[in-house]
């Protein structure tokens, strides 16, 4: 015996099957949002860590630079004092003492030059680290806003299932695409969005 189905039951079964298909599709889309959100959160976390580590390294380099500057200044003052002593004594200075002062003067000048050179190398490293820090600072907001949009997309997708609303799903999709775009831009910095920086 075959089961007879009334038209109302047929419509109900078709609607139920349609609802299941819609729910499955939205669930799949939500999983994709969650996957992109995980990548976005990882990128944001790494950008924040890199920014903080670079800032610490920059501060260390500039402190090292300042220490070298102080030492260079010390040798510069020492050189001036030796030169003044040599001028003050003039030709009446003992030859051995004069030779010792001149030898010390050369050593002081060499040390001053060495600190000046080291200071330049430290400055170059500090500037390089500042660039790295600044790039990380540029990336961070894209990940932050990308996370927000992706979380919003997940919530809206859930609401679309509960309400069976394709319009809410469309808004969810728009938020998801924008969130994914911001995530990609956070990694690649393809587009500079002024109000995010």
Note the pLDDT of residue 89: 84
Contact assessment for residue 44 and residue 150, using Cβ atoms and an 8 Å cutoff: no
Contact assessment for residue 172 and residue 151, using Cβ atoms and an 8 Å cutoff: no
Domains of the chain: 30-192 (1.10.287)
| Tokens 């831009």 -> residue | 185
Find the radius of gyration of the CA atoms of the chain. 35
Could you tell me the sign of the dihedral formed by the alpha carbons of 108, 113, 116, 118, in that order?
negative
Note the pLDDT of residue 98: 87
Note the pLDDT of residue 134: 95
**Angstrom distances, CA of residue 59 to CA of 62, 110, 121:** 5, 28, 15
Note the pLDDT of residue 93: 82
In the chain (197 residues long), the average pLDDT of successive 10-residue segments reads 66 70 92 97 96 96 96 93 87 86 93 94 96 95 97 97 93 98 96 85
CA distance 44 to 24: 30
CA distance 48 to 135: 11
Residues 6+ apart with CB under 8 A from 11: none
């Amino acid at each position: 015996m075959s089961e007879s189905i009334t038209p109302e039951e047929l419509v109900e079964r078709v609607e139920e099957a349609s609802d299941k298909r819609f729910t499955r599709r939205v669930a799949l889309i939500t999983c994709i949002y969650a996957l992109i959100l995980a990548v976005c959160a990882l990128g944001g976390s790494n950008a924040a860590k890199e920014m903080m580590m670079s800032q610490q390294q920059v501060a260390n380099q500039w402190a090292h630079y300042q220490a070298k500057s102080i030492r260079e200044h010390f040798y510069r003052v020492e050189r001036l004092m030796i030169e003044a002593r040599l001028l003050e004594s003039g030709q009446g200075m003992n030859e051995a003492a004069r030779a010792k002062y001149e030898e010390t003067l050369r050593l002081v000048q060499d040390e001053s030059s060495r600190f000046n050179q080291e200071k330049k190398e430290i400055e170059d490293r500090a500037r390089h680290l500042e660039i790295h820090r600044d790039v990380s600072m540029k990336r961070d907001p894209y990940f932050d806003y990308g996370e927000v949009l992706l979380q919003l997309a997940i919530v809206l997708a859930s609401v679309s299932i509960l309400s069976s609303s394709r319009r809410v799903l469309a808004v969810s999709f728009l938020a998801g695409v924008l969130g994914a775009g911001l995530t990609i831009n956070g990694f690649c910095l393809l587009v500079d969005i002024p109000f995010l920086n």
